[in-house]
């Protein structure tokens, strides 16, 4: 089985072809990604209109390159998959419309993929992990802890009450005058910083649930800045190191709480899986590696190339959904919001 995956939910345009292995897992035959960092850098964040136009300009070329790199053409595919949300609606529409058009023109099945589910299932592409497992999903727009029980079957154990983790990194970087994207810049500056210099809070630490809250930590950084109108390079490094150390402590504590909840509800997970762009952060990866060693729980960290948005994860999610018997029609609408656990979303919004 070979599937083309298309991803345009934010500021990466991506197309990839993935092939199912005979005994589970997949082989990435191609994975083309075009980043828009340069287009958005001047604004300190992603501008939706610019992102949508950039997707339109390159999507056809990227699909052609993905097929060429994979050594196949459209006739060799078994299906077309495209991310249908959640994300910036203009960008989502570009990829979804492209996927539908290719499926309609070739008569191939079409699969509308939840971008979050694609992240959730990446560990099965790379490592063949069995269900159920605990997922820490950390990106610019999402911070969640989920029990992954099967394709289309998710239980949210924790989420952020305010900022997503990647969003907090980006906002702190912007306050400190660091370039966009902020996460890698904060990590780089922290390498020469003193993580004990600033006593920053650890929000939600040891709370019995697995939720996150990051706005207080971000505010604490701002207050430190207000006390120092002029920042030296060492001040910036120390603030980055202190902020990052606080984040690491919070992440490890929240994962531990989620593991307890998982064990109570579902028994032992097969693994702890980390996904999303913030999964590329070195200190977070190392702290979770230490925790997994202590607990004896298998830890699956995606290759750095699959941490950020990419087409391979969309193609693989398409394969997973096809095997589960799911396909979608040409009337599938783009979704700016698309929670994996609908019941948890209703409860969170007071609609239970």
Q: Which residue, 241, 247, 190, is CA-closest to 213?
A: 247
pLDDT in tens, the chain (352 residues): 999 999 999 999 999 999 999 887 899 999 999 988 778 877 777 888 999 999 999 999 999 999 999 999 999 999 999 999 999 999 999 999 999 999 999 999 999 999 999 999 999 999 999 999 999 999 888 999 999 999 999 999 999 999 999 999 999 999 999 998 899 999 999 999 999 999 999 999 999 999 999 999 999 999 999 998 899 999 999 999 999 999 999 999 999 999 999 999 999 999 999 999 899 999 999 999 999 999 999 999 989 889 889 999 999 999 999 999 999 999 999 999 999 998 776 555 554 4
CA-based torsion, 158, 272, 252, 168: positive or negative:
negative
What are the residue boundaries of the structural domains of the chain, listed by start?
A: 2-123+308-339, 130-297
d(Cα 53, Cα 126) in Å, to the nearest integer?
32
Provide the H-helix boundaries in 161-232.
Answer: 165-175, 182-190, 215-226
Instruction: Check if the beta carbon of residue 113 is closer than 8 Å to that of residue 326.
Output: no
Give the fold, CATH level 3, of 130-297.
Answer: Nucleotidyltransferase; domain 5 (3.30.420)
Instruction: State the pLDDT at residue 231.
Output: 93
CB atoms inside a 10 Å sphere around CB 252: 16
Instruction: State the pLDDT at residue 351.
Output: 43
Is 0.85 topped by the overall pTM? yes
Residues β-bridged to residue 17: 4, 30
| DSSP code of residue 57 | H
d(Cα 352, Cα 343) in Å, to the nearest integer?
8
Give yes or no on whether 2-123+308-339 and 130-297 have one common fold.
yes
Instruction: State the pLDDT at residue 352.
Output: 40
The CATH number of 2-123+308-339 is 3.30.420.40
d(Cα 42, Cα 211) in Å, to the nearest integer?
33
d(Cα 65, Cα 79) in Å, to the nearest integer?
17
Instruction: State the pLDDT at residue 347.
Output: 53
């Amino acid at each position: 089985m070979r599937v083309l995956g298309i991803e345009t939910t934010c500021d990466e345009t991506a197309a990839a072809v993935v092939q199912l292995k005979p005994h589970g897992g997949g082989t990435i035959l191609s994975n083309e990604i075009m980043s828009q960092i340069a287009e958005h850098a001047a604004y300190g964040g992603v501008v939706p209109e610019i992102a949508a136009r950039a997707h339109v300009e390159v999507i056809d070329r990227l699909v052609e390159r993905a097929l060429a790199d994979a050594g196949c053409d459209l006739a060799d595919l078994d299906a077309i998959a495209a991310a249908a949300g959640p994300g910036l609606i203009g960008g989502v529409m570009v990829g979804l419309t492209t996927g539908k058009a290719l499926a309609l023109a070739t008569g191939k099945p079409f699969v509308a993929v939840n971008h979050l589910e694609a992240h959730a299932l990446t560990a099965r592409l790379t490592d063949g992990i069995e269900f159920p497992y605990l997922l820490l999903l950390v990106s610019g727009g999402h911070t969640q802890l989920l029990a992954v029980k099967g394709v289309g079957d998710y239980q949210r154990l924790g989420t952020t009450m305010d900022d997503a983790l990647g969003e907090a990194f980006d906002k702190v970087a912007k306050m400190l005058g660091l370039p966009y994207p902020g996460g890698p810049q904060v990590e780089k500056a922290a390498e020469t910083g003193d993580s004990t210099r600033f006593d920053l809070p650890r929000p939600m630490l040891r709370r019995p649930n697995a939720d996150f809250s990051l706005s207080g930590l971000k505010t604490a950084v701002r207050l430190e800045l207000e006390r120092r109108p002029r920042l030296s390079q060492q001040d910036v490094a120390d603030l980055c190191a202190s902020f990052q150390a606080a984040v690491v402590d919070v992440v490890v504590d929240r994962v531990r709480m989620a593991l307890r909840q998982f064990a109570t509800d579902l028994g032992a997970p097969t693994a702890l899986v980390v996904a999303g762009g913030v999964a590329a952060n070195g200190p977070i990866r190392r702290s979770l590696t230490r925790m997994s060693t202590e607990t004896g729980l298998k830890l699956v960290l995606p290759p750095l190339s699959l941490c950020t948005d990419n087409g391979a994860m969309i193609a693989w999610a398409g394969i997973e959904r096809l095997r589960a018997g799911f396909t979608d029609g040409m009337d599938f609408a783009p979704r700016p919001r698309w929670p994996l656990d609908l019941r948890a979303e209703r409860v969170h919004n007071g609609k239970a």
